[in-house]
Amino acid sequence: MKGVMRPQSSVAAIRRNLQSALRSGRLDDAEKALRRLQKEEPLAVQTRGLELELLLRQGRVAESRLLAEQLVEAFPTSARIHYLAGRAAYRNRAYERAVKHLRESLHISSHWKTRRWLGKALTQAGAFEQAEPLLLQVAEEHSIAARDLAWLYERMDRTARAVEVLERYLAMHSGDHFAARQLQRLRAQSMDPRELIGELETLHALGEAVPVDVLPETVKGLVEHGELERARQLASSVDATEHHHELTRAAWFCHRAHAPDLAYDLFVATFDHNRHSPKFLNALEADAFKAGRTDALIEVYQSRAEQQPNLWGRAKSLERRAYKL
């Protein structure tokens, strides 16, 4: 019959199923539940918020930004909407906007998750002194925030403090492999380069590979001691597709250490993962000139220009600079 409404308890059950699917990462089930909910309560704030949360879980970053802007305008007094809008802005690397939405969410209704994400956003925005008390408080109540606190201390160049936080956290959560890798990397950063090289030699003697998480620091130590060929061999043994983040960090170490030939090779190995960054391309071009690899870089640009048209202009600019036409 027309006008018959589904019982509110049934709508609530659909919503609970959707929330459960989101928490457990069953995104296909979540999408099906969302479609059902949209038929029953398409304009409800809970429905629209769950739609935004699903976009975030699916990694649909641009879509989440657009929807967040619409929902903040439609539901300006909803703490949940401002919280999710802050998360969407964070995913879009718009950290100042993330801080704004998260502060507004806290103003409407305080929640530890909002305080945690505000601390994370402040860290990324460089507001370290504001982020520290927030994350310290949240980490005391919810240990998962210790990882965020450690990242804050790393950004503040307080490596020893970051190590201390992670060691205490891992004593209670030994199965957290992400935190364990973070700790391993931080310890490598604080080691004397000679110690790192010594560990490399020990691993080599035992027939074991260097842990990829400390690859950038190991490459840095080798470069600083003039062992460029060993650094090159080590970097070339790593799968650039699977470990492009580590190789990119190693490339930047070499760039700043004025080792342009090795920096160029590492930048090119990670080119497809970084080619949309002007900062990356500028550094790559600088190293190509210093290493006498301009012709090779022009070929790299031309081979990718169909997918990224602005590389045609960069290739022509390189030719003019190289041949002074």
What tens digit of pLDDT does each residue of 193-202 get? 666 666 666 6
Residues 78 and 127 occupy one common structural domain:
yes
**Which position has the token pair 């490596």?**
159
pTM of the model: 0.68
DSSP state of 3: T
Q: Is residue 38 domain-resident?
A: no
Q: Is residue 178 domain-resident?
A: no
Q: Is the pLDDT of residue 186 over 90?
A: no
Residues 101 and 208 occupy one common structural domain:
no
Q: What's the CA gap between 41 and 35, in Å, rounded?
A: 10
Distances (CA, A) of 268 to 236, 247, 262, 300: 12, 10, 10, 8
Parent domain of 71: 66-170
Q: What's the CA gap between 219 and 282, in Å, rounded?
A: 22
What does the block give as tokens for 176?
């957290």
Q: Is residue 175 domain-resident?
A: no
Contact 29, 59 (CB under 8 A): no
Residues 222 and 109 occupy one common structural domain:
no
Distances (CA, A) of 276 to 270, 279, 311: 12, 9, 10
- Choose from 9-13, 19-23, 238-242 the range with maximum mean pLDDT: 19-23
Which pLDDT tens digit goes with each residue over 18-62? 889 888 889 998 989 899 888 888 889 999 999 999 999 999 989
CATH number of the domain that 87 lies in? Answer: 1.25.40.10
Number of domains in the chain: 2
Mean pLDDT of 92-112: 95
Residues 214 and 323 occupy one common structural domain:
yes
pLDDT at 159: 87
Residues 195 and 272 occupy one common structural domain:
yes
In the predicted model, what is the mean pLDDT of the chain? 88
